[in-house]
């Protein structure tokens, strides 16, 4: 009876794993966030430059990152990497954008808006801006409608009242983009920027910049490298090919050397791979080339854990224990060795995650997820399978002894 129960559980689990793997494969693959080295994009290092009377501090850089992130989000770029580096640099990584250079040009603008009269007096600035929306004027040309807050509306009313018949320049980053003549006093707190836009997209980009606020510092590009979509796809295809070949080699070796336990370890590796990729997809982690390396390394560590357990199992069988007793003793004796090994690697991965940036961080994140997952699949899941198998297949030859 016990033989049949164990066999039924084992077969039911194998069928369940097969069905879940088949159903979950496409959703997981389509929801993975690929880094710019796998789908193309741009990596830029921007350096903050001090303005007269202004000192760059940690708080200034944090505000700069906040404004940049706001702009990137409004432009619809998914999963950007924006973080500080040192005491005056900001790293920006944008993956999957069609025109990365244009995106960086727009995002890196200071966007300092000013309304200046003919005497050079600044009446209103972007600090009083409440909203900015792109639209089309009566002549069918792109425009940007501005709405000021209460203070800005009052300042703009005074500006238009005292400059009737004169021009007020709308200046963005010290460049005059419009210079209309004031015909009437405007108390509504609304203004319009029109003319000078080559397309509706330019007007939309300007509206995004104005809504997200001006950068607290001037940014200059220090480094930039781009990865084309074709190169990214080629890297991904080669990585997948290498991963499949490596995985097949491991699966064949495990079955050939460890026989039934090796087959069960292969099932655990399938579950392990699904869990790691599933966590990457659900957690919105970005998978990069170094991340794939971390994934493959963690597969090797998961296999190592199974090998340690199976060697312990063989020792127990050679010592004369029954199969079920050998399975229990093998897992107990191997557990702390596996735990200590994984813990030290996990500590290193956490340190890399905390201090690392870009590719190093991607490698560490994938490795850490893989280590934690391998502890479950090797110590818990494989143990279930092996105990169920031991209830049905009692000949030691099935276990490589």
Q: How far is CA 142 from the centre of its chain?
A: 34
Sheet with 168-172, side-by-side order of all strands: 122-125, 113-117, 168-172, 175-178
- pLDDT tens for the chain, 401 residues long, are 456 787 888 889 989 999 998 999 889 888 888 877 777 778 888 888 877 777 888 888 887 888 888 777 767 776 678 888 888 888 888 877 767 677 777 777 777 788 898 888 889 888 888 888 888 888 888 888 888 889 989 998 999 999 988 888 888 777 787 788 888 888 888 888 776 677 887 788 778 777 766 677 788 888 887 776 666 677 777 877 887 888 888 889 888 888 888 899 889 988 999 999 999 889 888 888 888 888 888 888 888 888 898 888 888 888 888 888 888 888 888 888 889 988 999 999 999 888 876 678 888 888 999 999 988 898 899 989 988 888 888 877 887 76
Q: Are residues 240 and 318 both part of a single domain? A: yes
Q: Are residues 7 and 67 both part of a single domain? A: no
Give SS3 for 57: coil
User: Residue 305: which H helix or E strand, with range?
Assistant: helix 289-318
Is residue 355 one of the residues assigned to a domain? yes
Domains of the chain: total: 3
Residue labelled with tokens 């997820």 = 369
Range of the domain at 60: 41-110+215-227
Q: How many CB atoms lie within 10 A of CB 6?
A: 19
Q: Are residues 9 and 58 both part of a single domain? A: no
Using the 3D structure, point to which of 172, 207, 227 is the last residue of a domain. Answer: 227
Give the phi and the psi of residue 193 in degrees, each rounded to 5: -105, 115
Which of 224, 143, 154 minimizes the C-alpha distance to 178? 143
Which of 337, 303, 323 minimizes the C-alpha distance to 387? 323
Is residue 205 one of the residues assigned to a domain? no
Q: What is the DSSP letter of 109?
A: -
Q: Are residues 253 and 387 both part of a single domain? A: yes
Q: Are residues 237 and 345 both part of a single domain? A: yes
DSSP string, 125-183: EGGGEEEEEEEE-TTS-EEEEEEE-HHHHHHHHHHHHHTTTSBEEEEETTEEEE-PBP-
């Amino acid at each position: 009876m016990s033989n049949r129960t164990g066999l039924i559980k084992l077969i039911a689990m194998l069928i369940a794993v097969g069905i879940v793997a088949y159903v979950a494969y496409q959703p997981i693959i389509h929801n993975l966030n690929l880094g710019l080295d796998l789908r193309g994009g741009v990596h830029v290092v921007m350096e903050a430059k001090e303005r007269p009377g202004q000192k760059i501090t940690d708080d200034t850089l944090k505000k700069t990152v906040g404004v940049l992130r706001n702009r990137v989000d409004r432009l619809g770029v998914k999963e950007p990497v924006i973080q500080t580096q040192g005491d005056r640099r900001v790293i920006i990584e944008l993956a999957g954008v069609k025109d990365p250079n244009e995106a960086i040009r727009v995002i890196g603008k200071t966007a300092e808006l000013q309304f200046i009269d003919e005497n050079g007096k600044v009446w209103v600035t972007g600090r009083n801006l409440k909203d900015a929306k792109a639209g089309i004027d009566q002549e069918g040309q792109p425009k940007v409608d501005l709405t000021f807050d209460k203070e800005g509306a009052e300042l703009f009313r005074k500006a238009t009242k005292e400059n009737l018949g004169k021009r007020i320049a709308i200046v963005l980053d010290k460049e005059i983009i419009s210079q209309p003549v004031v015909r009437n006093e405007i108390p509504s707190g609304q203004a319009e920027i029109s003319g000078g836009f080559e397309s509706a997209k330019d007007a939309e980009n300007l509206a995004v910049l104005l809504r997200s606020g001006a950068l607290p510092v001037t940014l200059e590009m220090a480094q930039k490298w781009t990865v084309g979509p074709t190169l990214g796809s080629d890297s991904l295809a080669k990585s997948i090919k290498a991963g499949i070949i490596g995985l097949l080699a491991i699966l064949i070796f495990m079955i050939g050397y460890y026989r039934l336990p090796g087959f069960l370890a292969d099932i655990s590796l399938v579950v392990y791979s699904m869990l790691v990729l599933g966590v990457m997809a659900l957690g919105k982690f970005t998978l990069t080339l170094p991340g794939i390396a971390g994934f493959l390394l963690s597969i090797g560590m998961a296999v190592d854990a199974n090998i340690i357990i199976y060697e312990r199992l063989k020792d127990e069988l050679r010592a004369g224990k029954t199969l079920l007793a050998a399975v229990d003793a093998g897992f107990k004796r191997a557990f702390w060795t596996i735990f200590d090994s994984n813990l030290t690697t996990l500590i290193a991965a956490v340190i890399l995650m905390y201090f690392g940036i870009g590719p190093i961080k991607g490698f560490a994140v994938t490795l850490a997820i893989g280590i934690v997952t391998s502890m479950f699949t090797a110590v818990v899941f494989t143990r279930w399978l092996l105990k169920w198998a031991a209830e049905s297949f009692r000949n030691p030859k099935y276990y490589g002894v």
